[in-house]
Amino acid sequence: MTSNSPSSSTQVAGALFIFAAPSGAGKTSLVNALLDATTGIEVSVSHTTRTPRPGEQDGTNYHFTDMETFQNMAAAGAFLEHARVFDNYYGTARANIEQRLAVGVDVILEIDWQGARQVREQFPDTVGVFILPPSRTVLEERLRNRGQDSDATIARRMRDAVQEMSHYMEFEYLVINDDFEAALDELRRIVLAHRLRTPAQAARHAALLDSLLV
């Protein structure tokens, strides 16, 4: 067997994906559809200090956490990343992410560009996907159709969206959510293509490669 063949004991590790988008771009709906259509991938449930919206459940949408608990976790280094967004704090717990990746599960983080920078410092191979709306008009319509925010809040979200969208070049992939099914198909192709990269396939099929290269 040649010296550069993979060992059969190589551990299959999952991939870490970051999906970022301005509020109202349809990221959460796309992620939920991707999870339904793709096996072996999960979304990380973040911690947040904001109050639950109607229909949201603790542990499913977010881990809703009081400010003191959140700050204690941050001080203890429990978060892979955390940031302040719209007067509330959001954070990704490190332990569960590392455990799921170690057993070969792909994990999606729904975070902003600030969090993405923090994660990349610790996981340089993270795959970044930025989702954009087809226009600012459509983005505002989607925010208003939620029926959850005041005019002042929507105006602030629109201002912040411009700043958020200016960081799209920091991500490996860019998806425009104009047609939902087309955008979903593009996301599925991104995940599949990453799974077919040589290092991942070599780890996944180590035994086969060992037998072929004897």
| 98-146 tens-digit pLDDT | 999 999 999 999 999 999 999 999 999 999 999 999 999 999 999 999 8
- C-alpha to C-alpha distance for 141 and 135, rounded to whole angstroms: 10
* pTM of the predicted protein model: 0.85
pLDDT digits (tens, 9 = 90+) for 30-49: 999 999 999 999 999 999 99
Mean pLDDT taken over the chain: 91
Give the pLDDT of residue 146.
Answer: 84
Mean pLDDT of 167-192: 98
pLDDT band at 184 (very low <50, low <70, confident <90, very high): very high
pLDDT at 5: 38
Helices of type H across the chain: 27-37, 67-75, 94-102, 113-122, 136-145, 151-165, 180-195, 198-204, 206-212
pLDDT of res. 203: 86
